[in-house]
Structure 1
Amino acid sequence: MILIESFFEQKKLLEDLFNDIVRDYRFLIEKTHIQVIPGKLEGIYSWIAINYVLGRFQSNSTDSISVTNGQTISISKKRPSTVGILDMGGASAQIAFEVSPDTSIEGEEIAEFSLGYDEDQEVFKYRIYVTTFLGYGANKAFEKYIERIISIALNASTSNSSHILIDDADCLPHGYSANYIRNNKTITVIGEGDFHSCAKHLVTLLNLNATCKRKPCSLNGVYQPTINYELQDFYGFSEFWYTMEDILKIGGPYTRLAFLNASNNYCNSKWADIRRWYTDRLFPKADLNRVLLQCFKSAWLYAFLHDGLKFPINYERLRSASLVNNNDVQWTLGAILYKTRFLPLRAINQVKSTIHYRRAHTDSTAMIILICSMLLLCVLIFYRKILRAKIRTLFYRRNGLHLSSSSSNFNQRYQLLTSIVIDDSPSLSYTYTSGKTLQTSSSSSSLYNERLRSV
């Protein structure tokens, strides 16, 4: 949007966007909600987003005490150091990092703001250097590169031919060719694939010879304060991540030698091989345009970082990233945090904590009731088993006594029967003839009958 020079065209595009949102969505939106922000704000928001995700805005509970002349005591809370950001898109690039409060710096590149819940919180006041380089994004830089080599070829051409051949395009893959039309002439560009030559060529696009009104300067004559490279960490986003990861697969901590080796190997590859690798899905994260411009973007990133921003070649505190702590870090997150920094978020958090406590208390009470109910049920089941066991034992005992009594009566009767002696000796016949003997036999018979009756 910033590259659209006509204000009328910008306004027309924004109005069309507003009408589409109102028609297709149920958002509560006003026309003033849609804005085109400058690159400087984008850099500030990106800086806020990454430091928020890394937890660099949390103040330390330890206080630092400074004593002056033994009388004046000032107490200030310490806070973690912040990281800087490097962000490169298709059209522009940004750099932002915190500068020391002791550094005397003024100008449009310096932004001061508070991230506390009011402006009076000194511990959350930040002073950062931030600037944007419009036209120095990767895609715009490639357009400048193509226009430059075509311009050189046109100026060097002395013939009236309608065709011009450029066979040494060092930033394009070896064997790649494309046609461009300029001044009614067809210019054929053939890639050579030379990373080191490409990087040197691209330094000319950084405009390092621009007038530096306030030193030190980076590219295009823009002021940039001195950076403590031994302590200052930087995170690189967008093209810093895509260029290092999608094809080279070295995203994360940046090391110059690893980046140079990977980039040089890719640039030396033939375009036919690169197309075959792409067809075989060796680069699942990349599209065809990415594999075509990878050599150029690697060289542009290297030149922009070391020749443009003046980062030392041995600097190793840069990390390219897309996700940080499993969070997608975009400048939009920083915009939300900045716009809502004065809202009563602490009160909202306290209400949430109270609701959470009540809910947790209710849940714990229900859990206690459930556990007690289960224990009571277990006790009842156990008691029932004991009661049934006692009843069964009592029943068996009673049956045992009855059986024992019956057995005793039977044994008594059996003994009585077996105790009767039946005399079948010859003297029995004699009882009919001898009266004395008969009397004895009669008494025995009477005793026998009595026993039978008793049985």
Structure 2
Amino acid sequence: MEQDEVSEQSAVNVKQKPDVGVISGCNYWWLLAAVSLFISAAGFVTIGVVEVFGKKDVYVYGIVFDAGSTHTSMYVYNWKGGKVNGTAEVSQIHSCKATALSKYETRPLHAGNALAGCLNQAMQWIPSEDYMNTQVYLGATAGMRLLNASNPDASKIILHVVREKIMSYPFGFSNPNKQARIISGEEEGTFSWVTVNYFAGTLGVKPVDQLAAPTPITHGALDMGGASTQITFTPEKPESLPSGYSNQLRLYGVNHTVYTHSYLCYGINEGLRRFQANLVMDQRNTTNTTIANPCGPKGVVETVPHDEVFEAPCTKGPHALEAFGSEIYPTSYMDSNSNYSFVGESDSEKCEQQTQNLFNFTQRCDFPSCSFNGVYQPAVAGDFYAFSSYFYQVQFLNLTDGNETFSLEQFRNAVTVLCNSSWDEVKTMKTDYSAALPWYCFETSFVLTILTRGYGFNASNWDSISFKEKVNSASLGWALGFMINASNLIPADYPESPLPILTMVLLLILFFLFLVISVGFAYYAIQIRKALQNQGYERIGSYGTV
């Protein structure tokens, strides 16, 4: 009986693979492969997320002082460390005003005090760890250009003292003579053009604060300060611009050629001074100091000292030559201690004529096209943004109330109405500068004359001008354009990885090993599965019976 049972068990033999990795029929090598793969994938994803979202934006800061003829403005800018084709996308984060440097002519050693307050503010807006990498620039414009011509010693001392003041702060200022200097009028105009087109989105980038929908056509810039005015635009044939009237720029990887010219002594304040001097000279005699002023409102008398009218670079010296044909007014017979009483007449027609006398529209022009004083200018082309004093004058006329554009006829009518108004009517008009009320008729007439008879804007192209002061909180002017251009020379600063390089490399290796291990586990699990699938019964040959 026992022999039969042994024979029966021997007759059939079950061939089975070892049960390594199989528990109750479950191949747990698949589980190990899945866990390893999950660890590997989670590791790679975590590293990627940390690298993308864990990086803190690196900001670079810059400071630009616009040392103008009426005041000095400081602007603090910043931008993300990476740049677009070598040029930064700059934003203004703070501004500050101080005294004009040219007003320190009689006390030049104190000029540095004008910057101290604003520099202290800059330290509050810039992280202390970024002080040393924050470059400071100062551009002195027409006020200092005039002072440098009339009193070069005072100008030199002022710049020296200003440089010393900036160097006493922990900012980047390694090249004082280049980083704080008198800039040319052409630079001023060109950088204003950069600012306008940066905000207009025509330079290949789209700033947060934007003037309008971007177009491929650049916009012109019309800037008028206290002592000079600039016009800059891209003419239809920029390649044909004569020497001395063009500027080349490379911004965001694109080359630009623009026409630009600056008219010294044609800023709003110096224009007024020359207007007063002309009135005095037209009515000059040895005793009379009462001067009829056709641009003044009837009923007002403005008293101005002799020195304020005649002891200034635009009415005395080489710059007077361009404007009046003489380097100095023949004032030797006048009493330098006298005061002139300008009596308003409210005569718009005479005012227009007196204003036009400040421009030489008949001077010989050696070019196919000129503006005034024999200065070359191609025909205006494209859209323009007019800012600074241009904006303030039309704002006073209430032409910018909710609008940036208005017709030339509206402008002319508003100037005519103002210039025919009495003092009783003018003195109640709203303005932040009440001292300028007696002179607004002249100033608006001056702006109208230079835009129309000077630059060539007329009824057919007047709508191309938009009058604007700021774009949100950022000022229109040359300073932002200067900073954008200067960023070409400032190295890019990209965000640092939140993980040290060695740590990241080791983690990548580790998670790669987990990936390899998961593949190995999966391969072994597949072999186990094949073995189980091949499991079966195999009859063994009989050796006979006993």
Into which bin does the TM-score normalised by the smaller protein fall?
0.5 to 0.7
Question: Does 2:188 align with 1:36?
Answer: no
Question: Does 2:246 align with 1:110?
Answer: yes
Question: Does 2:288 align with 1:163?
Answer: yes
Q: Deviations over 1:259-309 (max 9, x none)?
A: 12222222222223433x26xxx33xx212332221111100011111111
- Partner of 1:90 in structure 2? 226
Report 1:157-306 matches (<5 A): 157=285, 162-167=287-292, 169-179=293-303, 180-181=305-306, 183-184=334-335, 187-228=340-381, 232-250=382-400, 252-275=404-427, 277=428, 282-283=430-431, 286-306=432-452
Question: Does 2:481 align with 1:334?
Answer: yes
| Cα distance in 2 between the residues matched to 1:57 and 1:134 | 29
Judging by fraction of residues, say which structure has more helix. Answer: 1
| Cα distance in 2 between the residues matched to 1:147 and 1:100 | 39
- Partner of 2:145 in structure 1? 2
| Cα distance in 2 between the residues matched to 1:177 and 1:7 | 36
Q: What one-letter code is carried by the residue in structure 1 that aligns with 2:386?
A: G
| Cα distance in 2 between the residues matched to 1:240 and 1:197 | 22
| Cα distance in 2 between the residues matched to 1:175 and 1:336 | 47
Q: Is the 8 A contact 1:254 1:320 kept in 2?
A: no
- Secondary structure class of the residue paired with 2:448: helix
Structure 1 residue 101: Cα displacement? 5.3
| Cα distance in 1 between the residues matched to 2:408 and 2:458 | 10
- Secondary structure class of the residue paired with 1:220: coil
Q: What one-letter code is carried by the residue in structure 1 that aligns with 2:218?
A: T
Question: Does 2:469 align with 1:316?
Answer: no
Structure 1 residue 224: Cα displacement? 0.6
Q: Is the 8 A contact 2:361 2:373 kept in 1?
A: yes
Question: Does 2:137 align with 1:13?
Answer: no
| Cα distance in 2 between the residues matched to 1:102 and 1:299 | 31
Q: Is the 8 A contact 2:408 2:458 kept in 1?
A: no
Q: What one-letter code is carried by the residue in structure 1 that aligns with 2:347?
A: D
- Partner of 1:134 in structure 2? 264
Q: Is the 8 A contact 1:174 1:267 kept in 2?
A: no
State the identity as a percent: 25
Structure 1 residue 59: Cα displacement? 7.5
Q: Is the 8 A contact 2:294 2:347 kept in 1?
A: yes
Q: Is the 8 A contact 1:254 1:317 kept in 2?
A: no
- Secondary structure class of the residue paired with 1:221: coil
Q: Deviations over 1:182-230 (max 9, x none)?
A: 71266432111233331222112111122212221101111011234xx
- Secondary structure class of the residue paired with 2:405: coil
Q: Is the 8 A contact 1:203 1:303 kept in 2?
A: yes
Structure 1 residue 152: Cα displacement? 1.1
Residues 100 and 333 (structure 1 numbering): CA distance in 2 closer, same or farther, change over 3 Å? same
Q: Is the 8 A contact 2:223 2:231 kept in 1?
A: yes
| Cα distance in 2 between the residues matched to 1:153 and 1:186 | 14
Q: Deviations over 1:19-59 (max 9, x none)?
A: 33445x44343432211101100001000011001111117
Report 1:337-348 matches (<5 A): 337-341=484-488, 343=490, 345=492, 348=494
| Cα distance in 2 between the residues matched to 1:19 and 1:340 | 24
- Partner of 2:541 in structure 1? none
- Partner of 2:110 in structure 1? none
| Cα distance in 2 between the residues matched to 1:273 and 1:312 | 30
Higher relative contact order by CA 8 Å / sep ≥ 6: 1 or 2? 2
Residues 249 and 79 (structure 1 numbering): CA distance in 2 closer, same or farther, change over 3 Å? closer
Residues 106 and 271 (structure 1 numbering): CA distance in 2 closer, same or farther, change over 3 Å? same
| Cα distance in 1 between the residues matched to 2:273 and 2:457 | 25
Report 1:420-439 matches (<5 A): none
Structure 1 residue 325: Cα displacement? 5.2
| Cα distance in 1 between the residues matched to 2:435 and 2:220 | 30
- Partner of 2:67 in structure 1? none
Residues 57 and 297 (structure 1 numbering): CA distance in 2 closer, same or farther, change over 3 Å? same
Residues 248 and 205 (structure 1 numbering): CA distance in 2 closer, same or farther, change over 3 Å? same
Q: Deviations over 1:355-406 (max 9, x none)?
A: 8xxxxxxxxxxxxxxxxxxxxxxxxxxxxxxxxxxxxxxxxxxxxxxxxxxx
| Cα distance in 1 between the residues matched to 2:190 and 2:357 | 28
Residues 148 and 44 (structure 1 numbering): CA distance in 2 closer, same or farther, change over 3 Å? same
Residues 79 and 274 (structure 1 numbering): CA distance in 2 closer, same or farther, change over 3 Å? closer
| Cα distance in 1 between the residues matched to 2:229 and 2:240 | 25
| Cα distance in 1 between the residues matched to 2:236 and 2:369 | 16
- Partner of 2:130 in structure 1? none
Q: Is the 8 A contact 1:56 1:82 kept in 2?
A: yes
Q: What one-letter code is carried by the residue in structure 2 that aligns with 1:253?
A: T
Q: What one-letter code is carried by the residue in structure 2 that aligns with 1:206?
A: F
Query: Any unmatched runs of 5+ in structure 1?
Result: 61-77, 356-455
Q: Quote the RMSD (CA, aligned, Å).
A: 2.6
Q: What one-letter code is carried by the residue in structure 2 that aligns with 1:15?
A: H
- Partner of 1:412 in structure 2? none
Q: Is the 8 A contact 1:87 1:240 kept in 2?
A: yes
Structure 1 residue 134: Cα displacement? 0.6
Q: Is the 8 A contact 1:57 1:79 kept in 2?
A: no
| Cα distance in 2 between the residues matched to 1:196 and 1:313 | 20
Q: What one-letter code is carried by the residue in structure 1 that aligns with 2:438?
A: L
Q: Is the 8 A contact 1:177 1:189 kept in 2?
A: yes
- Secondary structure class of the residue paired with 1:250: coil
